[in-house]
Amino acid sequence: MDEWSFKIYGTNESDVDAWIEGLSPKAMARMDVIINHLRVTRVWGRPYIAALKIHSGIYEIIFTVQNIQYRPLGCYGPNDKEFTILTGATEKGNKFNPLNAPLKAEKRRKDIFQGREGVHDHNP
């Protein structure tokens, strides 16, 4: 039985869905494996997920495929036992691409908790 459900920021098709669909088949498969592992894991941590130090409430899912460091950014919520992917990013040299990904994730986190934006299910 799943401990967690995964959500995607936005209603229907969003830019997060487009980012996921644009991943290479290997990257998409790796992300699916990690998410399916996290779904059934009660307590999360490295090597699969970590909190961003200067962006309160934002977490990165961590995986590397073919020397590309993928970092979907998300948060816990908006409901109990949910994790919402807020934006997609990659990382190189401790810098996100796009550079504004953490700030975008923070804004989107506020939007979903204030009811200004919805979320939808993510089922890999």
pLDDT tens string 18-32: 999 999 999 999 999
- What is the domain partition of the chain in residue ranges? 5-115
Tokens of 106: 């923070």
Q: What is the pLDDT of residue 123?
A: 83
pLDDT score of 124: 77
Long-range pairs of 16-20 with CB within 8 A, sequence gap ≥ 24: 16/72, 16/85, 16/86, 16/87, 16/88, 19/72, 19/87, 19/88, 20/72, 20/85, 20/88, 20/122
Per-residue model confidence (pLDDT) at position 96: 96
CATH architecture observed for domain 5-115:
2-Layer Sandwich (3.30)
Give the strand pairing for 90-92 and 95-97: antiparallel
Q: Bridge-partner residues for 33, per DSSP? A: none
DSSP string covering 33-60 = HHHHHHHT-SS--TTTEEE-TTSTT-EE
pLDDT at 12: 74
pLDDT one-digit tens code per residue, 73-109: 999 999 999 999 999 999 999 999 999 999 999 999 9
